Chain A
Amino acid sequence: MKMMEMLSEVMAIFSRWNKKLLRQPILIFFNLIQPLVWFLLFTQAFSAIGNIPSFQLLTGTSSYITFFTAAVIIQTIASSALNTGIGLVNDFDSGFMDKMRVAPINKSSILFGRLFSSALTTVIQVAIILAIGLVLGVNIASGVAGTILIFILAALFGIAWSGISLFVALRTKNAETTLSVGLLTTFPLLFLSASVMPIGLLPSWVQQVATANPFTYIAEAFQSLIINGLVWQKIEYALIAIFIVGVLSLGASILLFRRKVS
Chain B
Amino acid sequence: MRHPSRLRAALATDPEIGAGNVLAKLVEHGAALDGPGISFDVAVDGYPAWTPLTLGVLRERVAARAAWLHAAGIRARDPVAIYVTSSADCLLNFMAMTWLGAIPALMNGNLPGDIAVEYIRRLRGAGVLADAAHRGQIEDAGLDVPILPDVSQAGTGDPADAPAHYRHHDDDPVAITHSSGTTRMPAAVVHSHASLFAATREEHLAAPRTGDQERMLCVLPAPHAAGIISTQQALCNRHELLFLSAQGGRFERSGAAVLDVIERWHPTSVYGFAVTWAELARFDLSQRDLSSVGLWFNTGDCAHEAHVRRLVTCGSHLTYTRDGVTRVPGSKFIDGIGSTEMGHSAFRAVHRMTSDRYGRCVGKPYAFAEVALLDTESGEEVPDGQVGHLGLKSPTLAPGYWNDSASTYRSRLRGYYLTGDLMYRDAEGYYYHVDRAVDAVDLGGGHWLYTAMSEERILMRCPDVRDCTVVAGRAAGQIVTDVLLLLAPGADPGADRAQAIADALGKPAAATLRRVVAVPEDDIVVGPTGKVRKFLMRQRHLAATAAP
Chains A and B belong together in one complex: no
